[in-house]
């Protein structure tokens, strides 16, 4: 199996489109205001936004986007008006992360983990 599609809900899909395009995702399906889908700039993963009438900000979903040069990405996005909750910082789990929220309150982590993403020192051996 390969996880390649995630869907989150939005009360304002038009606002979500502007936000995710500003992060660099490419709109590939446009059935706004009900549904849209994006391709990530690297890899084959896609992200969908589906319209909802309910409050979504309390969502337990956290979206992680890996960046080759996290600091430069955060600086570039900040210059374009994207607001971050935390700047790039090294974590105990050997990742470097910065966090922000989309217009619906979904938490987003931009990160760089290098080899530690799949092979941290504490990885369990595959049986």
Whether 8 and 52 have beta carbons less than 8 Å apart is answered as no
Q: What is the pLDDT of residue 2?
A: 79
Q: What is the pLDDT of residue 123?
A: 87
Phi and psi at 17, nearest 5°, equal: -60, -50
Q: What is the pLDDT of residue 107?
A: 93
Superfamily of domain 5-116: 2,3-Dihydroxybiphenyl 1,2-Dioxygenase, domain 1 (3.10.180.10)
Q: What is the pLDDT of residue 127?
A: 76
Mean pLDDT in order along the chain per 10 residues (127 residues): 88 96 96 95 93 75 94 97 96 96 94 92 85
**pLDDT tens for each residue of 36-71:** 999 999 989 999 999 998 776 567 789 999 999 999
The structure tokens listed for 116 are 């530690």
Total Cβ atoms within 10 A of residue 64: 14
Instruction: Give a three-class secondary structure readout of the chain.
Output: CCCCEEEEEECCHHHHHHHHHHCCCEEEEEECCCEEEEECCCCCCEEEEEECCCCCCCCCCEEEEECCCHHHHHHHHHHCCCCCCEEEEECCCCCEEEEEECCCCCEEEEEECHHHCCCCCCCCCCC
Size (the chain), residues: 127
């Amino acid at each position: 199996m390969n996880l390649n599609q995630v869907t989150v809900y939005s009360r304002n899909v038009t606002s979500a489109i502007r936000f995710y395009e500003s992060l660099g995702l490419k709109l590939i399906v446009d059935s706004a205001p009900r549904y849209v889908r994006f391709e990530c700039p690297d890899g084959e993963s896609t992200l969908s936004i589906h319209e909802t009438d309910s409050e979504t900000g309390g969502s337990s979903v956290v979206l992680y986007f890996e960046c080759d040069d996290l600091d430069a990405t955060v600086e570039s996005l900040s210059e374009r008006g994207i607001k971050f909750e935390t700047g790039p910082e090294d974590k105990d789990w050997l990742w470097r992360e910065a966090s922000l929220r989309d217009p619906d309150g979904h938490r987003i982590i931009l990160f760089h983990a290098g080899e530690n993403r799949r092979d941290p020192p504490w990885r369990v051996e595959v049986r």
